[in-house]
Amino acid sequence: MKVVALFLFGLALAAANPSWEEFKGKFGRKYVDLEEERYRLNVFLDNLQYIEEFNKKYESGEVTYNLAINQFSDLTNDEFNSMMKGYKTSLRPKPVAVFTSTDAAPETTEVDWRTKGCVTHVKDQGQCGSCWAFSATGSLEGQHFLKYGELVSLAEQQLVDCAGGIYYNQGCNGGWVNQAFKYIKANGGIDTESSYPYEARDNTCRFNSNSVAATCSGFVSIAQGSESPEVRRTTNTGPISVAIDAAHRSFQSYSSGVYYEPSCSSSQLDHAVLAVGYGSEGGQDFWLVKNSWGTSWGSAGYINMARNRNNNCGIATDASYPTV
């Protein structure tokens, strides 16, 4: 009888909620039992309603971005935040230098470091709070390319497994970008991703000095709170590691457009990402930001975050890049 009930329930879901069936098929969702699926369906339908109502505001010009169903659409916002973050803000190690803007520093209207060949493919941290590791490798990948002309994908898993201890990082439970830079410097380098593949879980350290692909001599912090120094450094230096407040439901379902969230905090930061450029769209200035949630999220893994709007979401609060 239970098998028949499950079969009939499945047919009913398919008939009444084609978007649910499409979602499960696209993202390979399989739930442990009927009760779990019913719960996830209700969460999905709540998110779908939120997305549809939000997009009406986009269509009427009330907001500058829209939302869409993605791999997180069967998660509540609390579940999403507990799984997909990992940036910690309570520790600020001393940098090699602090960059502040100067009037002589040039600034252009648009920069996209992807076109220069120094940004690797969009990666996926999975259900592991390792965003700090992906932001750190992304910034170092760019600096390594700009110095040596070689774009190499670096090993986030090495940072997850090895950059704890005296560096205080906690693997899938979170960490700090600048502490990752300190570890790479002291360790004598970081391996390639191909030699030390990502696993989305904590494991034992297996660093191989024969597979080192990049080194780091320190890092530079960018003056806190002001987007002007960050613009100038992004213009001249390459991709920049940044931290943001990504805790909002709107961020969870972001699809395209310029993301501006009035309720964002400029100090309560929970997610590390990579600023790879900036520009303007429809009169709205934005930062071009590479995320680490795969290409199914956002605009093929990227988001345009509001720029010159009072440091929205704290994008200029804790920015840095490594020196090589």
Cα angle value 60/63/67 (rounded, 5°): 95
Digit-coded pLDDT (tens) for 27-77 = 999 999 989 999 999 999 999 999 999 999 999 999 999 999 999 999 999
Tens of pLDDT, residue by residue over 181-229, are: 999 999 999 999 999 999 999 999 999 999 999 999 999 999 788 898 8
For residues 10 and 221, which has the higher predicted lDDT (pLDDT)? Answer: 221
Catalytic status, residue 187: no
Coil, helix or strand at residue 241: strand
Of 169, 291, 304, 312, the catalytic one is 291
Q: Is 131 a catalytic residue?
A: yes
CB atoms within 10 A of CB 41: 19
> Is the overall model pTM greater than 0.75, yes or no?
yes
The whole-chain average pLDDT of the chain stands at: 91
One-letter amino acid at 159 equals L
Choice among 47, 178, 187, 271 that is catalytic: 271
118, 128, 131, 313: the catalytic one is: 131
Q: What is the pLDDT of residues 70-121, one digit of tens each?
A: 999 999 999 999 999 888 875 554 444 444 444 444 567 899 999 999 999 9
Cα separation, 56 vs 62, whole angstroms: 9
* Domains along the sequence of the chain with CATH: 20-79 (1.10.287.2250), 80-323 (3.90.70.10)
131-163: pLDDT as tens digits: 999 999 999 999 999 999 999 999 999 999 999
pLDDT at 95: 45
Q: Is-catalytic flag, 304?
A: no
Q: Is the pLDDT of residue 287 over 90?
A: yes
Cα–Cα dist 268/249, whole Å? 16
- Residue 143 burial (C-beta neighbours within 10 Å; 0-12, 13-18, 19+): buried
